[in-house]
Structure 1
Amino acid sequence: MGVSTVTTARILKGQKAGNPGEETVLAMDSLPYTAMSKTYNIDLQVPDSAACATAFLCGVKTNQGLVGLDGRATSKNCSSAKGHEVASILEHAERAGKSTGIVTTARVTHATPAAAHSAARGWEADSDLTAEARDNNFTDIAYQLVEEAPDIEVILGGGRRAFLTNNMADPEDGTRGHRTDSRDLTRRWLDRKPGPARYVWNQTEFNSVDPESVDYLVGLFEPNHMRYSVDRTNDTAGEPSLADMTGKAIQILQKNQNGFFLLVEGGRIDHAHHSSKAVKALEDTVALDDAVQVRRELRI
């Protein structure tokens, strides 16, 4: 989502409101600071999302495909990863007594939102692990989110398949989960939480969540990535918008008097650009701006 994407989305949002467009002020335009970053990886000029997320969430440049590891590790080499884990801002926030959350329209185990330490961004379920990874007792990203990561209060996005076992049918499309270790991580997540917790997978269940009475919430709204915003109406089970998820997450997290850290990602903007689907990329950028507006309107 570079400057050209933001500019075009600004015009689109204005024109959707019946204006010429160029003069529109996005919610993100009204924020007090704008930052530009160089996005190269240590070993790659055109970067990938995993190494970029490690850079801006952990503060260190790293190699292509690595999540939460520094540049001394190499891709898909677990022995090189040991001892080279780097803490993310999410981990620092939890240690400081703050609440934390992840909201994305991609899979929650995908490169940017993955709150994990992995030598390969693709190791999202245990079935994705290589023999070398298993020999080195490496765990997959979904497992780390539930069993090893800090006590994350809110996780909302897509990616049910990495949390369900291969003998469980997905409640929406009937496909099988990707886990071969017999662990239903949705159930495990609920069992491990010390306070009132909910797991939801569709719009109706999401709408029923009362932020005042729920301290922990995980919502997985698709087996894979969530739908593009222009395609949400085609989802028979229903799934919340990025703005809806952001608002609900903040309402839960803001109950902590020590504050909170929340990562919000319009994860499918990039996907649409990869596929040259301009309309979907721009509509998802507008949806991200709607989420920023929700944050601006909420009193915290």
Structure 2
Amino acid sequence: MKKKKWLSLALVGAITASSIGVVQAKDKELNPKKVQAKNVIMLVMDGSSDNVSTIARWYKGEPLALDNILTGAVRTYSAESAITDSAPAATALATGNKSNSGYVGVLPSVVTTPGVAPVAEEDAFKPVANVLEGAKLQGKATGIVSTSEIQHATPAGFSSHVTSRKNYDDIAEQQVYQNIDVVLGGGYEALKETRKDGEDLVKVIEEKGYDYVTDRNELLSSKSDKLWGSFAPSALAYDFDRLVTKPDEPTLAEMTEKAIVTLSKDKDGFFLMVEGSKIDWAAHANDPVGMLSDFLAFDDAVAKALEFAEKDGETLVIAVTDHGNSGITIGNVNTTSTYDTTPVSAYINPLKEAKMTLEGALSLLKKDKSNLAEVAESYGLTNITKEELTALKESDNLGKTLVQLLSNRANIGFTTGGHTGDDVFLYSFGPAKPTGLVDNTDLAHSMATAMGFNLTDLTNKLFINAIAEFEKLGYTTKIDLTDKNNPVFVAENKKSIITIPENKNIVHIQNKNSKKTKTHTLDSVTVYNDKDFFVSKEVIKLAK
């Protein structure tokens, strides 16, 4: 008994010492005086999971670039669920705050997850600062890259603040007025003059001095320090499909390399967020080919980031998925009794037959479906059986049937068409790299500290309730909703009338005596969350 008691005490002591060691290491890592990074590259593989990386490695037949920098794992839950949506996941990664489904860059209104701190009712939907905004105020160059619309949830989380991820108009406007140095991806539709607010954001982009490029050749040949690339009305093509369906679009690796080359010209350093977006879309469709396509394209982009970081020596690289999706498994009901003798080739060879993703294959389908067998073959269903062809001809959902047939051939399983709540791999490299099991919110604070700022302090600097603060200064205030698509905050005293439009980085101050109006350009954007306007301390200083 004494021996057992001694062993138990020794074990507890070892665990305690280990825990203290982890905390001390983390504190040391997050101390900006000891370890900092000149540059930070954050890469997000949306909707991927650990099994995707395993399948991709077998498919590729050699190690992944990611394999060299595996350092831990990440918890991904949101403020209201064990399974997160991409918007609160991006908010956590970018701002260090948990939030609700659909919320981008703002605090939650509902908190039900154990361990997540409650939010005061008056702070619900309040904007919170992100690492890109912090980097910009540090004098660093900034960039976002995505294979989806640049206004999609993940890039939006690093560049905007809205109560709904569907609000592309506000997201796009904030992104343009954030003065980000490099923006590359899809989403041209959200920039056009047909927007609800009537603003032609392409014209604004050009007026701001960007080289606005629309295809691969223009991107690669540009010499500008300010780049805005819109390569598709919405999302870009899957990597496997690109040469056939969209040959003028750049790859994710090309966009990443161009962004790094452009941003690294800044002597103060840079922050870059890169997203491989459509792994998630393929996962929702249970399309293993689409998942492989854009996971491998993402890994190529990681290789470009690491190539720079290894030479540079001052760059922190973090790569992570924001959440799992689909519950993809190597093995399904076919392998219940044969899993221990089923060779790797039984899983991988059927996938290698596919030349295009589900999206790409279906784009080739004729209206009369006369080329159905050829479409199926392009998706990997070579030597199609009579039963398989009949299933396709009788299908009410051709895409669903195609993925089911190929997954059956490849012995790949799926548990859902939605997100999953699993912890995911953490990949990191360079100074101040996070390691071990961390929360997704920890990564935002790690990046901020590595760049020399505090996200809470930054929020208090950038997002002050305009009504409360201006009324303290003796102004009368109102929110002008005459044009509901262009809300404006108005503050007035005996000397001045101050007008501040939402989503922009400008403030107009009219002198009542001279009737002259001066427009000031700000370092950050003003946010209206459909309830309150939030302005920076810079605005308050101008009003005094």
TM-score (norm: length of structure 1): 0.79
Q: CA 1:106–1:83 in 2, change beyond 3 Å: closer, same or farther?
A: closer
Matched, 1:144 2:174: yes
Partners of 2:187 and 2:296 in 1: CA distance: 23
Matches within 5 A, 1:131-210: 140-147=170-177, 149=178, 151-166=179-194, 179-193=195-209, 197-210=210-223
Q: CA 1:110–1:236 in 2, change beyond 3 Å: closer, same or farther?
A: closer
Does the Cα contact within 8 Å between 1:67 and 1:119 map onto a contact in 2?
yes
Does the Cα contact within 8 Å between 1:228 and 1:284 map onto a contact in 2?
yes
Match of 2:166 in 1: 122
Match of 1:135 in 2: none
Partners of 1:123 and 1:9 in 2: CA distance: 34
Q: Give secondary structure in 1 for the equivalent of 2:77.
A: coil
Partners of 1:80 and 1:102 in 2: CA distance: 31
Q: More displaced, 246-255 or 198-207?
A: 198-207
Deviant stretches of 4+, over 3 Å: 79-83
Q: Give secondary structure in 1 for the equivalent of 2:74.
A: coil
Q: CA deviation at 1:120?
A: 0.1
Matched, 1:274 2:284: yes
Partners of 2:234 and 2:192 in 1: CA distance: 12
Match of 2:244 in 1: 234
Match of 1:66 in 2: 103
Partners of 2:284 and 2:139 in 1: CA distance: 39
Partners of 1:225 and 1:198 in 2: CA distance: 20
Q: CA 1:260–1:275 in 2, change beyond 3 Å: closer, same or farther?
A: same
Q: CA deviation at 1:182?
A: 2.6
Matches within 5 A, 1:226-265: 226-236=236-246, 238-265=248-275
Match of 2:302 in 1: 292
Q: Give secondary structure in 2 for the equivalent of 1:9.
A: helix
Q: CA deviation at 1:280?
A: 1.1
Give the partner amino acid of 1:12: Y
Does the Cα contact within 8 Å between 2:109 and 2:125 map onto a contact in 1?
no
TM-score (norm: length of structure 2): 0.45
Partners of 2:59 and 2:293 in 1: CA distance: 8
Partners of 1:249 and 1:199 in 2: CA distance: 14
Partners of 1:34 and 1:103 in 2: CA distance: 24
Partners of 1:158 and 1:280 in 2: CA distance: 18
Q: CA deviation at 1:73?
A: 7.5
Partners of 2:286 and 2:131 in 1: CA distance: 33
Q: CA 1:35–1:103 in 2, change beyond 3 Å: closer, same or farther?
A: farther
Q: CA 1:109–1:121 in 2, change beyond 3 Å: closer, same or farther?
A: same
Partners of 1:154 and 1:93 in 2: CA distance: 14
Does the Cα contact within 8 Å between 1:156 and 1:219 map onto a contact in 2?
yes
Task: Give identity over the alignment, percent.
Answer: 40
Partners of 1:73 and 1:200 in 2: CA distance: 41
Q: CA 1:38–1:268 in 2, change beyond 3 Å: closer, same or farther?
A: same
Q: List gaps (5 residues or longer) in structure 2.
A: 1-47, 112-120, 313-544
Q: CA deviation at 1:259?
A: 1.0
Superimposed CA distance per residue, residues 63-105 of structure 1 (whole angstroms, 9 cap, x where no aligned partner):
111000012479xxxx977871111010111111111110110
Q: More displaced, 265-274 or 289-298?
A: 289-298
Partners of 1:110 and 1:13 in 2: CA distance: 29
Q: List gaps (5 residues or longer) in structure 1.
A: 15-23, 126-139, 167-178
Q: Give secondary structure in 1 for the equivalent of 2:296.
A: helix
Partners of 2:297 and 2:71 in 1: CA distance: 19
Partners of 1:276 and 1:237 in 2: CA distance: 25
Matched, 1:94 2:122: no
Match of 1:7 in 2: 54
Does the Cα contact within 8 Å between 1:242 and 1:291 map onto a contact in 2?
yes
- The RMSD of aligned alpha carbons is 1.9
Partners of 1:229 and 1:180 in 2: CA distance: 32
Partners of 1:154 and 1:189 in 2: CA distance: 11
Q: Give secondary structure in 2 for the equivalent of 1:243.
A: helix
Superimposed CA distance per residue, residues 4-28 of structure 1 (whole angstroms, 9 cap, x where no aligned partner):
11111111122xxxxxxxxx32111
Aligned residues: 252
Q: Which has the larger radius of gyration?
A: 2
Q: CA 1:216–1:251 in 2, change beyond 3 Å: closer, same or farther?
A: same
